[in-house]
């Protein structure tokens, strides 16, 4: 006997962080959650599963129109034609209070009620599914104590939308502990709400499939559902089904290997090429590039965010413009050392004074306060469009004190690079 465990599908939810960029793959962004769900339905039919469980957050809140509901009904119709039943539970995003529109679902779809936990029995398979939907989005009560007793001799599956203990990064909806799940005696807990894949397999198996499609840079890597195989009352196998159509990656570039900007860009190109090779050929990749480490290219990487972004995009376009999209470029590098002073003369003396200032200013409280006040006044006068184009300046306006030492170091590095270049030109 086989079934699919899915959760957190968030149909028609936008992919955050991409649509604001003019070169984003708009059509793929708009339809990604639908395409992922279509792929899941196709896998269910291909694997000839006995049923599918959806453990909450099918929708992402109320529909803008009926097209979201019609799409879901159409997919359920495909499963109905294949003889596949669906057991659907609503979570915090699609609770009764959150989705005001509704459509009659095909008769192969059973919905867990919100008023109390209920059991659906599949007599031919000797399977009992226990679950309770959310009535309100902010369901903070522990629902597990109200779940029915297990059906002896049958495979018991608990369906629950919960944060579960230890998942502090997710809102604490329907909180419960692993010990409470074990105490129920069900052989399998089909959970939803946490968007990461996690499985604890044993006499009692507890599983999160993760969400079907990553929606932003905090949801990197593969996403999909679980294909669960059982024999009698035993869970014998759990396979991961990857059905996402756009995959997020945070690409760390060790800039310590780069002496200048061309070196840094070559490293990006090599890393992007390797990423393309290791991912499935159909997969679109949304990539955030982050330069890190102490590097000789530090000053060049900081000179212009806009130019750096376009240089990195150029590397992606040269490799595969249909599959690679650069979401953002971050620079978190440090200079190898303070720039070397000019060899001799008045410039050397001035540069030495600047080096001493960069080293001691952060510890001179009165000087630091005066500098911060002047710096803050300048930042407050900058037009909004300038701050929008230079987010690092906006950040400094919020935290000038913490940024003082680093900014002095960076300024001196840039000054050293430019005076060095000028000296070379004179020679």
* Distance of alpha carbon 289 from the chain centroid: 14
Reported as half-sphere exposure (CB side, CA atoms, 13 A), residue 39 has a value of 20
Show the tokens assigned to 193. 């709400």
List residues bridging with 226 in a β-sheet. 5, 240
Q: Which residues contact 66 (CB under 8 A, 6 or more apart)?
A: 101, 103
Gap between the Cα atoms of 210 and 311, Å rounded: 34
What per-residue confidence (pLDDT) applies to 405?
Answer: 57
Domain positions in the chain: 2-244, 245-336, 340-427
Options 3.40.50.300, 3.40.190.10, 3.30.2010.10, 3.60.21.10; CATH of 2-244: 3.60.21.10
* Residues in the chain, pLDDT under 70: 16-27, 97, 100, 166-171, 337-364, 368, 375, 378-379, 381-427
Q: Which residues contact 391 (CB under 8 A, 6 or more apart)?
A: 305
Show the tokens assigned to 219. 């949801």
SS3 track for the chain: CEEEEECCCCECCCCCCCCCCCCCCHHHHHHHHHHHHHHHHHHHHHHCCCEEEEECCCECCCCCCCHHHHHHHHHHHHHHHCCCEEEEECCCCCCCCCCCCCCCCCCCEEECCCCCCEEEEECCCCEEEEECCCCCCCCCCCCHHHCCCCCCCCEEEEEEECCCCCCCCCCCCCCCCHHHHHHHCCCEEEEECCCCCEEECCCCEEEECCCCCCCCCCCCCCCEEEEEEEECCEEEEEEEEECCCEEEEEEEEEHHHCCCHHHHHHHHHHHHHHHHHHCCCCCEEEEEEEEEEEECCHHHHHCCHHHHHHHHHHHHHHHCCCCEEEEEEEEEEEECCCCCCCCCHHHHHHHHHHHHHHHHHHHCHHHHHHHHHHHHHHHHHCCHHHHHHCHHHHHHHHCHHHHHHHHHHHHHHHHHHHHHHHHHHHC
What per-residue confidence (pLDDT) applies to 136?
Answer: 77
List residues bridging with 230 in a β-sheet. 235
Question: Residues 2-47: pLDDT tens digits?
Answer: 999 999 999 888 776 665 556 666 667 778 999 999 999 999 999 9
Q: How many residues does the chain have?
A: 427
For the chain, the C-alpha Rg in angstroms (whole number) is: 28
Gap between the Cα atoms of 132 and 90, Å rounded: 8
What per-residue confidence (pLDDT) applies to 341?
Answer: 46
Question: Which of 117, 107, 178, 122 minimizes the C-alpha distance to 147?
Answer: 117
Residue whose token pair is 């629902």: 143
């Amino acid at each position: 006997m086989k079934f699919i465990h899915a959760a957190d599908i968030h149909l028609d939810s936008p992919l955050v962080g991409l649509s604001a960029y003019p070169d984003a793959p708009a059509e793929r962004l708009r339809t990604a959650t639908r395409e992922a769900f279509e792929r899941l339905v196709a896998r269910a039919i291909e694997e000839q599963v006995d049923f599918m469980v959806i453990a909450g957050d099918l929708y992402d809140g109320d529909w803008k129109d009926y097209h979201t509901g019609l799409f879901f009904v159409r997919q359920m119709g495909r499963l109905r034609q294949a003889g596949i039943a669906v057991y659907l539970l609503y979570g915090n995003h699609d609770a009764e209070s959150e989705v005001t529109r509704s459509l009659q679902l095909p008769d192969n779809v059973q919905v867990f009620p919100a008023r109390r936990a209920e059991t659906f029995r599949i007599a031919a398979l000797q399977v009992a599914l226990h679950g309770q939907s959310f009535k309100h989005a902010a369901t903070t009560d522990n629902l597990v104590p109200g779940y029915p007793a297990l059906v002896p001799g049958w495979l018991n599956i608990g369906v629950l939308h919960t944060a579960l203990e230890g998942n502090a990064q997710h809102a604490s909806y329907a909180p419960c502990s692993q010990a409470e799940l074990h105490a129920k005696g069900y052989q399998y807990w089909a959970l939803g709400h946490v968007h990461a894949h996690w499985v604890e397999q044993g006499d009692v198996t507890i599983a999160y499939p993760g969400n079907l499609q990553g929606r932003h840079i905090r949801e990197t890597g593969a996403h999909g559902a679980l294909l669960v195989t059982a024999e009698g009352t035993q869970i014998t196998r759990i396979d991961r089904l990857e059905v996402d159509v756009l995959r997020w990656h945070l690409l760390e570039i060790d800039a310590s290997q780069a002496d200048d900007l061309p070196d840094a860009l070559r490293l990006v190109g090599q890393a992007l090429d390797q990423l393309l090779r290791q991912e499935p050929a159909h997969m679109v990749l949304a990539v955030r590039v982050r330069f890190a480490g102490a590097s000789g290219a530090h000053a060049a990487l900081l000179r212009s965010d806009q130019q750096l972004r376009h240089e990195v995009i150029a590397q992606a376009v040269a490799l595969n413009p249909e599959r690679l999209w650069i979401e953002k470029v971050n620079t978190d590098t440090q200079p190898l050392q303070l720039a070397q002073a000019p060899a001799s003369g008045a410039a050397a003396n001035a540069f030495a004074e600047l080096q001493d200032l960069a080293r001691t200013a952060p510890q001179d409280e009165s000087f630091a306060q005066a500098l911060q006040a002047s710096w803050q006044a300048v930042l407050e006068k900058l037009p909004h469009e300038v701050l929008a184009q230079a987010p690092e300046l906006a950040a400094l306006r919020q935290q000038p004190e913490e940024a003082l030492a680093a900014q002095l170091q960076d300024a001196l590095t840039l000054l050293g690079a430019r005076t060095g270049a000028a000296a070379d030109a004179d020679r």
